With several copies, the nearest count.
Chain A
Amino acid sequence: MDCIELLLPLKAEYVSLARLAVSGVANRMGFDIETIEDIKVALAEVCNKLVQKGSNSVQSYKIVFNVSVDKLNIVFDCEDKSLRCIFEGEGEKLGVSIINALMDEVEFCSNNSYLMSMSIALKGDS
């Protein structure tokens, strides 16, 4: 498994960079263009929320792309642990609906040492 990490300032202007990076990773893995667009949106929903809630207490956040042959797993982390479970109680909100619909597996509240995690499978026929 290959692991790529991106550390970004918690600012709105760098969310597009996260999208660009994930599109590069997903393209390299062989996802089709349509799925790459989906992944970009799902990832951005998390970045948006972190940027909105993140206030000045934290300077940056980390996105880890875990690349395996048949799956892309994306893990978000941040030193400010108050950003954990950031989507809690937002079941009806646009962001959550989008993430749930576009990704195969989502862990909004992690017991582990990160904020949240989401994965999407690379279909054999794509």
Chain B
Amino acid sequence: MSGELKLRQENKQEGTCIYISGEVDIYSSQGLKEKLYEIVDSSEKDIIFDCSELNYIDSTGLGIFVGALKKAKQNNKRIIITKLKENIKKLFVITGLDKVFVIEE
């Protein structure tokens, strides 16, 4: 199918960059949550999600993003979501989450 879920982390000047690729669904996200929260918890900079290779997400994945945001806020860090595909950005708009996250091109 069009891509297993993969996470890759890169520490950059601007922040901790997380590349999410593949499909985040109810099954694939089972491992994502812990990994993501761990990265967010231990990051000393803002978190930047690069979603250019993210092909699918639904409420399961959006919920995990919200959870990550809560953790980031506790640490006074921001989460910046970048390079969302159109169909996925649409889901952030529908749910109002586009106003909760910082979303950049």
Chain A residues with a Cβ under 8 A of chain B: 12-13, 15-16, 19-20, 24, 27, 34, 37-38, 40-41, 44-45, 47-48, 51-52, 93-95, 97-98, 101-102
Assess the A98–B1 pair: CB atoms within 8 A. no
Q: Is the Cβ of B27 less than 8 Å from the Cβ of A15? A: yes
When the two chains form their complex, are residues B94 and A15 in contact, meaning their CB atoms are under 8 A apart? Answer: no
Q: In the complex, which residues 1-29 of chain B have their Cβ closer than 8 Å to any Cβ of chain A?
A: 1, 23, 25-27
Which interface class (under 10, 10 to 19, 20 to 34, 35 or more) fits B? 10 to 19
Q: Give bound CA distance, A24 to B90, whole Å.
A: 22
Contacting chain A: which of B36-44, B53-61, B71-79?
B53-61
Tell me which residues across on chain A come within 8 A of B86, comparing CB atoms.
34
State the 9 A-B residue pairs at the shortest beta-carbon distance, nearest first. Answer: A94-B59, A12-B27, A37-B87, A101-B94, A95-B59, A12-B26, A48-B26, A13-B27, A44-B58
B interface residues (Cβ-Cβ under 8 A, vs A): 1, 23, 25-27, 30, 56, 58-60, 62-63, 86-87, 90-91, 94-96
- Nearest CB on B from A69, distance (A): 17
Q: Do the beta carbons of A48 and B59 come within 8 Å of each other?
A: yes
Q: Inside 8 A of A48's CB, which chain B residues have their CB?
A: 25-26, 58-60
What's the least CB distance linking A86 to chain B, in Å? Answer: 14
B1 x A16 contact (CB < 8 A)? yes
